[in-house]
Amino acid sequence: MEAAAFASWLDKLKTALDEMDGLAFAALFSNNAVFYEAPFNAPRKGRAAIRSAIDEMANLRRESRFSAQVIGIEPNVGWAIWENAFTRAGTDDPVRLEGILKARFNAKGLCTEFQQWWHKLEPGQDDLMRDFDA
């Protein structure tokens, strides 16, 4: 995977997450892709399951703003740091997720395996939010 191709894939990921578009998000993955939402959760397998993950998020989030930056490239693998800020639906609480992702790709440029590690900042963590925003 070339850095430019991975950056383009991340741009499409950003658009799908900002719009909470499950169909566009799932289209970035192969039919039999494996998607790890968190390191210790069972993975979602296949496009339909991956799409449902985003559709579930869409019910809980408003005003999603995603950004990512390429930090490493290996053959068929891209690494990026990312941030996603959104407003929690129903409470209007601001939430920010920051993490790192690893995406493995097939020859067609579709993601076959997606792993991410992240941390969440939200209300109730006042000291943390103040310190991170300082």
Query: According to the model, what pLDDT value does residue 55 have?
Result: 86
Task: Spell out the domains of the chain, with CATH numbers in brackets.
Answer: 3-133 (3.10.450.50)
Q: Would the pLDDT of 128 be above 70?
A: no
How do residues 11-60 score in pLDDT, each as one tens digit? 999 999 999 899 999 999 999 999 998 888 899 999 999 999 888 878 88
Query: According to the model, what pLDDT value does residue 88 have?
Result: 86
How do residues 88-104 score in pLDDT, each as one tens digit? 888 888 889 899 999 99
pTM above 0.75, yes or no: yes
Closest CA to 54 of 17, 81, 84, 85: 17
